[in-house]
Amino acid sequence: MTGSTSDILVSVRNLSKAYQRGSQIVPVLEDISFDIPAGEFLALMGPSGSGKSTLLNLIAGIDKVDTGNVLIDGIDITTLDETELADWRSGNVGFIFQFYNLIPVLTAFENVELPLLLTGLSRRKRQEHVATVLSLVNLTDRMDHYPSELSGGQQQRVAIARAMVSDPAILVADEPTGDLDRHSAEEILSLMDRLVREFGKTVIMVTHDPRAAERAHRIIHLEKGVLVPVPPSVPSCST
């Protein structure tokens, strides 16, 4: 975990974020700084409401920081405007959500094709890419199924294929196994593990699940909006 600076892909610097709730300002993240080397499988843990999702969203460029910087591959994404950010996201980040977030009226194939519609790729090229990632997640035979016709584990594999199809350097996953049974969860974790090892992806995964966190190269803990170096006690999830 002591990679040289040249290996650093994500660099979070003095990040703060607060939400307004009525007249009250609620701090969510306070002065967060850390680095993520390229090719790392990072788990982000912490109790519910500690700001994990917020931090992940800020790194993925789908929420705005109050102060601080997020440097990704040399680009400070906090300086990008809405349009630049949308373009940056579609080329650099793949999203995996707890509830898969597939579009119900689109088939598995069409869901995976979605990000490619924003590129100038020809129909044939798009189909090739979709077919490749669907075979990677082992769902070639289910590509014409609608999300409602797939199990949770299968839906999450479709979501992973969708995240992979534009070949981004970073995958962000917010509790990707939170809604899955043990077996499906293991499948998803193995798949993400493969994406890191075989395809060199950098994965940032928020999780509650210690068994999921075990797969990660490194675990960082958030507690009430600040990073804590060591979890207060080993069975941190019991309360």
Partner 1 sequence: MFYLKLIIRNAFRHKLRALLTIIGVAVAILAFGLLRTLVGLWYLGVETSSATRLVTRSSISLVFSLPISYRERIRHVPGVTEVSTMNWFGGVYISEKNFFPNFAVEPETFLKIYPEFVLDPAQKKAFLADRQGAVAGRKLAAKYGWKVGDRITLKGTIFPGQWEFVLRGIYSGAQKSTDETQFFFHWNYLNEVMRKTIPRRADQVGLFTLAVARPDLAAEVSQAVDALFKNSLAETRTETEKAFQLSFVAMTEAIMVAIQIVSYVVIVIIMVVAANTMAMTARERLGEYATMKSLGFRGYHIAGTVFGESLFIALLGGIVGVMGTFPAAHIIETELSQFFPVFAISTSTIMLQLASAVAVGIAAGAFPTWRGATIRIAEGLRRIG
Ligand X SMILES: Nc1ncnc2c1ncn2[C@@H]1O[C@H](COP(=O)(O)OP(=O)(O)O)[C@@H](O)[C@H]1O
Please give the sequence-ordered ranges of beta strands (E in DSSP) within 105-223, or none if there are none: 170-174, 202-206, 218-223
Question: Does residue number 53 form part of the binding site for Mg ion (CB under 5 A)?
Answer: yes
- Kindly indicate which of the ranges 32-40, 67-75, 109-117, 226-234 contains the residues binding partner 1, using the contact rule CB under 8 A: 109-117
Interface with partner 1: number of residues (CB under 8 A): 24
Question: Does residue number 101 form part of the binding site for Mg ion (CB under 5 A)?
Answer: no
The position carrying tokens 């909006």 is 225
CB of 52 to partner 1, least distance (A): 13
Tell me if 172 sits within 8 A of 93, measured CB to CB. Answer: yes
Distance between CA atoms of 220 and 102, rounded to whole angstroms? 29
Tell me if 54 sits within 8 A of 29, measured CB to CB. Answer: yes
Distances (CA, A) of 37 to 42, 175, 228: 9, 21, 19
CB of 154 to Mg ion, least distance (A): 23
Question: Does residue number 99 form part of the binding site for ligand X (CB under 6 A)?
Answer: no
Q: Where in 131-170 is the site for partner 1 (CB under 8 A)?
A: 162
Distance between CA atoms of 117 and 119, rounded to whole angstroms? 5
- Kindly indicate which of the ranges 53-61, 66-74, 119-127, 178-186 contains the residues binding Mg ion, using the contact rule CB under 5 A: 53-61
Give contact residues for Mg ion (rule: CB under 5 A): 53
Give the residues lining the site for partner 1 (CB under 8 A). 54, 57, 60, 62-63, 83, 86-87, 89-90, 95, 97-99, 101, 103-106, 114-115, 117-118, 162
